[in-house]
A = this chain, B = another copy of it.
Amino acid sequence: MANEVKLHGVTGSPFVCRAVIALNLKEIKYEFVAEDLSNKSADLLKYNPVYKKVPVLVHNGNPISESLVIVEYIDEVWKGVPILPQDAYEKAQARFWAKFMDDKCFPAVFKAVSSHGEEQAVAEVHEALQFLENELKVKGSKFFGGDNINLVDIAATFVAFWIGAVEEALGIELLPKDKFPKLTEWSDNYVNCQAVKDSLPPRENIVAFFKKRFGKA
């Protein structure tokens, strides 16, 4: 059977990066189709007519949208390193925390960035991150997934990598080490995993992007 895998994306997106990490973890060969978001391809519009957004994974012609749905799909179709826990309860917990990244953490970070670090917005980021700090403390493990990274770690990629770039670009503090020692340690461990390291965009590009887009004139 043909096993053609394409990923429509842009470098620099933490959501696209989730799919890239999952593909790299499973050692899947794929073609990266770079999209221009100011002039989206006909394929992207056809594959994701609802949101017209990246990432879209196209496996043997079948398109899949939504980064966490893509990661679960990759985990189900390709064996090798598991991304979701096998136990049903642990799996449910992983899905809960992955969803938490999108529903609570990401919007909070976005608000803090677009408000240039407004006090209340930063407090909301800290409130969200405190749940993650506690979770790591309770688990007492290197990653949210235990000894190895799982869906939650992948979902939290923007915490480990993008937040640092934002802090540098805008001079605001979202993840202070003294307040979040576990999360800081996790970030360091996570971005140094080989599959993650191979998937991240150059940090200076992200810093430059945030400076240009959100920096004070």
Interface residues of A (CB under 8 A from B): 49-50, 59, 62, 64-66, 69-70, 72-73, 76-77, 88-89, 91-93, 95-96, 99-100, 104, 131
* Cβ–Cβ contact B96 & A88, under 8 A: no
Q: How far is the CA of A95 from the CA of B99 in the complex (A)?
A: 13
* Cβ–Cβ contact A95 & B66, under 8 A: yes
* Cβ–Cβ contact B96 & A59, under 8 A: no
Q: Can you sample 10 A-B contacts with CB below 8 Å? A: A49-B131, A50-B100, A59-B89, A64-B92, A64-B93, A66-B95, A69-B96, A73-B89, A73-B91, A73-B92
Q: How far is the CB of A5 from chain B (nearest CB, A)?
A: 13
Copies of this chain present in the complex amount to: 2
Q: How far is the CB of A71 from chain B (nearest CB, A)?
A: 10
**Contact A95 B69, CB 8 Å, known A50-B104, A89-B62, A104-B50:** yes
Q: How far is the CA of A143 from the CA of B99 in the complex (A)?
A: 26
* Cβ–Cβ contact B104 & A92, under 8 A: no
Q: How far is the CA of A70 from the CA of B197 in the complex (A)?
A: 33
Q: How far is the CA of A55 from the CA of B202 in the complex (A)?
A: 42
Q: How far is the CB of A183 from chain B (nearest CB, A)?
A: 16
Q: How far is the CA of A171 from the CA of B213 in the complex (A)?
A: 44
* Cβ–Cβ contact A77 & B73, under 8 A: no
Residues on B with C-beta less than 8 A from A95 are 66, 69, 72
Q: How far is the CA of A88 from the CA of B72 in the complex (A)?
A: 9
Q: How far is the CA of A5 from the CA of B202 in the complex (A)?
A: 48
Smallest CB gap from A90: residue in B: B62
* Cβ–Cβ contact B66 & A88, under 8 A: no
Smallest CB gap from A104: residue in B: B50
From the candidates B59, B76, B91, name the one contacting A91 in the complex (CB within 8 A): B76
* Cβ–Cβ contact B77 & A88, under 8 A: yes
Give 7 closest A-B pairs by Cβ, nearest first: A73-B92, A76-B88, A69-B95, A64-B92, A77-B88, A62-B89, A69-B92
